[in-house]
Amino acid sequence: MSLAIICSGGDAPGMNPAIKKFVDYVYEKGETPYFVFNGLDGLIDGQISPAKHKDVAGIVHRGGAIIRSSRSKRFYEYEYRKKAYENLRKHDISGLVMLGGDGSFRAMDRLSSEFELNFVGIPTTIDNDIYGTDTCIGVDTALNVIRDALDKIRDTASTFSRAFVVEVMGRECGYLAAVSAITSGAEICLIPEAEFNKSVALKHLKKEIAEGRNYILSIVSEGTKMTAELARWLEKEIGMETRITVLGHIQRGGSPTVNDRMLAFEFTVRAVDHLLGSKNSNKVMVIEHGRYGMREIEEVVERKYRIDPELLGMLNLLD
C-alpha cells in the first residue's frame, strides 16, 4: 500500500517532525511513503515522488516544511480537483495524510465528496482554530516565540516608561493573544471573541499609574483590526508614549518545541494506522482533555471552534 503526505496552507513548527515520523513509520509498517510537494498546487501538477529515509534525516529540529506548502485558487475548480485525484491514482496512492488547518480540511472535504479518497487530516496551524481539538501542531512553539518577544518588549517598556501594543497572529481566533496575555502578565488583551471595555480598562490603568505603574503591555489579536486604534487610545486617554510591534511571521518559524514534536509524532502514527486499516474514511485527528481521537471531516469543517470559557474568564482578571 502507498501512502502520501502533503502540507497545505500556512506553515507551522512541527510539520517536519510529522513528515519524518510519517516516512519512518510507513516504512516500518512495510508500505511505501510518498511526498506531495508544494501543497495543493503540487497535487494538481503531479509533484509526487517516493520518500526515502535520507530525505528526512536531521529535519526534526527544523521549522517550516521540507516538502513545502501552498494555497491554491485552482483547487476551487472541479477540473483541477479531478486532476489532483487522478495524480494520486497514477501512483496507486490509497491514503493521504494532510498537515493543515481549516481551509485545507475544507478542500479535502470537497475532494472526498467527489472522489473515493482515504484521508486523515492532522491539525497543523498556529491559529488553533480547528473544531474538536484542544490544540494543533505549531501552537506551543508559536506561544513560546511570542512569550520570548513579550519578555524582551517588557524590558524596553519598563525602561522608557512606555506603552507597547503587540499584535499577534491567529486570524479570527484570539487563542494566541489570550494565552500570551495571561502568561505574560499583560495589562490589556483584545481578541475577536470579547468586547474591549474601555471605561473599565481606563479606570484600572489610571489607578495603577497613580500607584506607580510606569509602563503598559497590551496584546492584540490581528483579527480585531484594532492595533492602531488601541495605540491612539492609550496615548490620548492614558497620556503615555506608545509603540506598536507587529510580530508577524516569526510566530510561524523556529525550531518546534518538545510538545509540538511529540504531538506531531503521535498524530502521525495514529493517522497512518487508521489509513492502513480503512477505506474511504475521511477523518481529522484531535486531542481532547489529553486523549487522542478522531472526528469526521464534515463535523470539523461545519462547526466553529470556540475558546474555552474558562480561558476567557481568566482574561477578565486583566481588567
DSSP strands (E only) in the chain: 2-7, 32-36, 48-50, 93-100, 119-123, 163-168, 188-190, 216-221, 242-246, 282-288, 291-296
| pTM score, whole prediction | 0.96
Residue 155 falls in the annotated catalytic set: no
15-28 and 258-276 helices, crossing angle to 10°:
40
Hey, what CATH class is 140-252 in?
alpha beta
Share of the chain above pLDDT 70, in %: 99
Return the percent helix, strand and coil in the chain, to nearest 5. 50, 20, 35
Grid cell listed for 118: 482515504
* CATH for 2-138+256-304, options being 3.40.190.90, 3.50.50.60, 3.40.50.2000, 3.40.50.450: 3.40.50.450
Are 258 and 228 in contact by the 8 Å Cβ rule? The answer is: no
Task: Please name the residues in contact with 282: beta carbons below 8 A apart, sequence gap of 6 or more.
Answer: 108, 109, 112, 117, 118, 119, 120, 296, 297
152's CB contacts (< 8 A; 6+ apart) are none
In this predicted model, what pLDDT tens digit does every residue of 97-146 receive, in sequence order? 999 999 999 999 999 999 999 999 999 999 999 999 999 999 999 999 99
Domain span(s) for CATH 3.40.50.450 in the chain:
2-138+256-304
Chain-centroid distance, C-alpha 56: 22
The strand order across the sheet containing 93-100 reads: 48-50, 32-36, 2-7, 93-100, 119-123, 282-288, 291-296
Q: Alpha helix (H) ranges present in 29-75?
A: 39-44, 53-56
* Distances in whole angstroms, Cα of residue 216 to Cα of each of 54, 168, 190, 206: 50, 16, 14, 11
Cell of 22: 510519517
Question: 10 Å Cβ neighbour count for 308?
Answer: 11
- Range(s) for CATH 3.40.50.460 in the chain? 140-252
Per-residue confidence in pLDDT tens, the chain, 319 aa: 899 999 999 999 999 999 999 999 999 999 999 999 999 999 999 999 999 999 999 999 999 999 999 989 999 999 999 999 999 999 999 999 999 999 999 999 999 999 999 999 999 999 999 999 999 999 999 999 999 999 999 999 999 999 999 999 999 999 999 999 999 999 999 999 999 999 999 999 999 999 999 999 999 999 999 999 999 999 999 999 999 999 999 999 999 999 999 999 999 999 999 999 988 889 999 999 999 999 999 999 999 999 999 988 888 766 5
Q: Among 24, 102, 127, 129, which one carries the catalytic annotation?
A: 127
pLDDT in tens, 207-224: 999 999 999 999 999 999
Which triple of cell numbers denotes residue 206? 489610571
Q: Which amino acid is at 260?
A: D
Please tell me the distance from the alpha carbon of residue 123 to that of residue 136, in angstroms, as a whole number: 5
DSSP for 138-202 reads THHHHHHHHHHHHHHHHHHHHHHT-EEEEEE--TT--HHHHHHHHHHT-SEEE-TTS---HHHHH
